[in-house]
Amino acid sequence: MATPANRRGGEEKSVPHIRITDEKYLWDNYEEGELIGQGTFGKVFKVRHKETGVDWAMKVINKEKAGGQGIKLLEREVTILKRVQHENIIALNEVYESPKRMYLMMEYCEGGELKDGLDKSIYTESETLTIVRKLASAIKYLHKLDIVHRDLKLENILLSQNPDDPDDKLHIKVTDFGLSVVKGGVGHDNMMQDFCGTPIYMCKYKLVDLWMKVYLEILKQPNMV
């Protein structure tokens, strides 16, 4: 069974993509746990691998409800997640696909969304700098691979346990690459003039402009990332 990739290299990692006709094959290997997220076309559950005891976040997408466009976005997300390997980007471990559903086995982040963390407490200036530094590192890595996320927001930044530092409570993971694109390709999907993302973050709080200003300032300091 594969393990989460924390390397920074750009080489494609091996992610098993298993086609199944019966979901029983899936549940022979995993124990289903609590519901931890829900979207338009699917749900996210905490599951446990029976053999290893490792917890994972299982994203389940109903392909019929998603429709052709939804499946296209999902396939794009899977393709990108198979390429990226960075400690601050969610890792895709396995993909199961049946005629009706697709199951993505991803890292489980016990800290939940960064938005929930901000609702519970106020981060200090030092803690905020730590989060922004890690976020900038992840985005800089994506941009080197010509990948543009296009939906950065607090809900798409998760808090996880740092395997190298148990005391690190601000170990973030960028997730949800459904709206992401790879620049330099051919066709409309790789063009950057689409209006997309989450409007409340673009107009009310103007966080996109804020993130970009902070990101550009950090990039001016080579030792910061």
Binding residue ranges? 59
Question: Reduced to 3 states, what is the DSSP secondary structure of residue 177?
Answer: coil
- Residue 192 neighbours by CB distance under 10 Å: 8
Distances (CA, A) of 3 to 75, 90, 91, 93: 21, 12, 9, 7
| Beta strands 17-19 and 92-97, pairing class | parallel
Q: Which amino acid is at 218?
A: I
Q: What gap in Å lies between CA 98 and CA 176, rounded to an integer?
A: 21
- Reply yes or no on whether 164 is catalytic: no
C-beta separation of 111 from 217 below 8 A: no
DSSP string, 92-159: EEEEEE-SSEEEEEEE--TTEEHHHHHHH----HHHHHHHHHHHHHHHHHHHHTTEE-----GGGEEE
Q: Which of 22, 119, 151, 194 is catalytic?
A: 151
Binding-site annotation, residues for ATP: 59
Q: What gap in Å lies between CA 13 and CA 5, rounded to an integer?
A: 8
Q: What gap in Å lies between CA 139 and CA 176, rounded to an integer?
A: 13
Active site residues: 151
